[in-house]
């Protein structure tokens, strides 16, 4: 009888664990599945626009590391916003100059922003992460992030006189003023 009670208890706990696991998987799939196709479209645009070997520093085409899904309140309503994270691997051993960094940030935004403008979920921000330096068993390369609010991406694509230099200057001001932009910060986890 004791053995039967233990087996029944184990069976109940196993059932509860399975339900929790399946519920978590369904929730995660429901939040990320719609963006798998979008991720593939963005990857394709990045590969077309920024192929490996572009300039002298691009090791391989930038890739979409992930698309973060954020819940945010807007006028008291819950809505879903996306935050694409794009990885750019540079073939430099030292930290690149900000002019080069922002040339790539502008090129990434020009490649993916038009695709995201047409998407039903609004963009909360763009994170462009850079990998610099050797990365191996004994040494780690440096990873840094530039965060761009979507309004700046709009300006970059809509105004002919607004270029990478202007984007950099405005992001630096915004980074210091209210923190909605980030210039050369640590990557998000």
Averages of pLDDT over each 10 residues, the chain, 189 residues: 60 74 57 74 95 81 93 63 94 89 97 92 94 76 94 96 96 84 92
Q: What is the pLDDT of residue 1?
A: 46
Give the model's pLDDT for residue 185: 93
Q: How many CB atoms lie within 10 A of CB 181?
A: 21
Domain ranges of the chain: 1-32, 39-185
Question: How much is the pLDDT for 136?
Answer: 65
Q: What is the pLDDT of residue 187?
A: 93
Tokens of 14: 């196993």
CA distances from 15 to 8, 9, 12, 23, 27 (A): 10, 10, 5, 12, 18
């Amino acid at each position: 009888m004791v053995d039967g009670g233990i087996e029944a208890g184990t069976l109940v706990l196993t059932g509860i664990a399975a339900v929790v696991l399946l519920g978590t998987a369904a929730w995660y799939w429901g939040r990320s599945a719609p963006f798998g196709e979008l991720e593939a479209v963005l990857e394709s645009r990045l590969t077309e626009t920024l192929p490996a070997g572009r300039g002298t520093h691009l090791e391989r085409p930038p890739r979409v590391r992930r698309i973060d899904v954020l819940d945010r309140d807007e006028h008291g309503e819950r809505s879903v916003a996306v935050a694409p994270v794009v990885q750019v691997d540079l073939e430099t051993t030292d930290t690149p100059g900000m002019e080069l960094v922002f040339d790539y940030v502008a090129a990434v935004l020009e490649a993916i922003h038009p695709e995201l403008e047409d998407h039903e979920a609004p963009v909360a921000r763009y994170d462009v992460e850079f990998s610099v330096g050797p990365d191996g068993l004994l040494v780690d390369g440096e990873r840094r992030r530039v965060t761009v609010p979507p309004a700046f991406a709009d300006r970059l694509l809509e105004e002919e006189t607004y270029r990478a230099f202007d984007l950099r200057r405005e992001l630096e001001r915004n980074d210091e003023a209210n923190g909605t932009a980030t210039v050369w910060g640590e990557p998000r986890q």
